[in-house]
Amino acid sequence: MFALADCNNFYASCHRLFEPQYNGVPVIVLSNNDGCVIARSNEAKACGIAMGAPFFKIRADIKKHNIAVFSSHYTLYGDISARVMTNLARFTPEVEVYSIDECFLGLNGFDNLQDYGIEIRETVIYNTGIPISIGIAPTKVLAKVANKTSKKHNGVMVLETEQQITDALADYPVEDLWGVGRQFAHKLIKDGIETAAQFRSLPIDWVQKYMTIVGVRMWYELWGKSCLPLKTVLDPKKGMCTSRAFGKLTGDYNQLIEATANYAARLASKLRSNKLCATVLSVRLLTNKFIAEELQVYPAITIPLEHPINNTVELIKVAVWGLKKVYLRGYMYQKVEVNATGLIPESEVQLNIFTDFKGVKYDKVSKVLDKLNLHYGAGTLRMAGEGKNQKWSMKREFLRPHYTTNWNDIIKVK
């Protein structure tokens, strides 16, 4: 048996956790640079706010419905997500963190699944304050169905018997099935297949012919035959990227250097947290393709590294060198991307006896950076090349404090 734990309106719930005055109030969360809507509370959905709606187009609706607006705060979301996943891991040794707000649990051998699901849900809500829904079923696809159905049944739904599964699939929209994309959904509905039950009743030969292996697995999963096992060990990462759009377009070379150094430093920190080293670094500049009257250019460079590294000093040095090689005057740039590929574990790094490697001392500097920034908050100590004022930084007009990751932002009780 599989359980799917899904945090309800996760981004909105994270903000409501520290500002409970917004419970029951329409809430939306905006993308980087406060561009468009990436998360909505149920109340905001009821107001007709569409996912992906540009912020500047819905200002009147926000004012009309008194909608609370938040800038995206991924540091906060990541920390709260880790707390939720840690609590879920207490209930079973088989855990697959599927996304920032979803987690699959293996429940083979457990009894009284309805009561156990209720216990899991109540424990997570009590310990983290984040509301979750639990769906339990014999396969992952059915667990997804159970999870979505659970939102109408006090947050926990168990599909254990054939009758329970049949009843749940009878009016479940086929386009909501896990694995049915827009293209498959359009074809199925066009052929008169509108529910999961109708899809399950199709001949397997038809599914194989028109829906490839993805559809076949989904068909078997709907019949209770598990084809998608838990991934309790994550696949090794093949690459990492740090890239954010600037608050405003810039052609200032010094600002681009600051941004590149800052992104390289963030990338180095991510590599170290995953105990990985990069063997190749890429730097790319991008103009805004949505401004037709502006000249467009996307210069890029890929740099093989002499040694696998993850320390901040050397990665910044290489990234800035790459920027100098690709920078073109006369253009207004929207963002810079710094990519690390050819990743290998720290424990497998081999040095070259024919070159002088001075990275050891830089590794020590990076460890000091990590230790201080972990204790006092991200960005407390940084390299001078990252800049002080950072005029290029993202527009985040509705950003809230770092309640759980910065000592200065911890809520004070009087």
pLDDT tens per residue, range 138-147: 999 999 999 9
pLDDT tens per residue, range 207-232: 888 888 888 999 999 999 999 898 87
Please name the residue that has the structure tokens 């950076």: 369
pLDDT the model gives residue 357: 59
* Average pLDDT value over all residues in the chain: 89
Looking at this protein, which amino acid is placed at residue 143?
Answer: A
Please name the residue that has the structure tokens 């984040």: 130
Looking at this protein, which amino acid is placed at residue 86?
Answer: T
Q: Which residues contact 342 (CB under 8 A, 6 or more apart)?
A: 278, 279, 280, 308
**Distance of alpha carbon 232 from alpha carbon 110, whole angstroms:** 18
**Average pLDDT rounded to a whole number, residues 315-328:** 93
Using CA atoms in the order 401, 68, 130, 151, what is the torsion angle rounded to 10 degrees? -160
DSSP calls for 68-83: EEEE--HHHHHHHHHH
pLDDT the model gives residue 358: 59
pLDDT tens per residue, range 250-295: 888 999 999 999 999 999 999 998 899 999 999 999 998 877 777 7
Quick one: which H or E segment has residue 272? Answer: helix 253-273
**Distance of alpha carbon 42 from alpha carbon 132, whole angstroms:** 14
Residue 101 DSSP class = T
pLDDT the model gives residue 80: 95
pLDDT the model gives residue 125: 95
Q: Is the pTM of this model over 0.95?
A: no
Domains within the chain, CATH numbers bracketed: 2-150 (3.30.70.270), 171-222 (1.10.150.20), 239-386 (3.30.1490.100)
Helix axes 253-273, 312-326, angle to 10 degrees: 140
Residue 140 DSSP class = H
**Distance of alpha carbon 404 from alpha carbon 411, whole angstroms:** 9
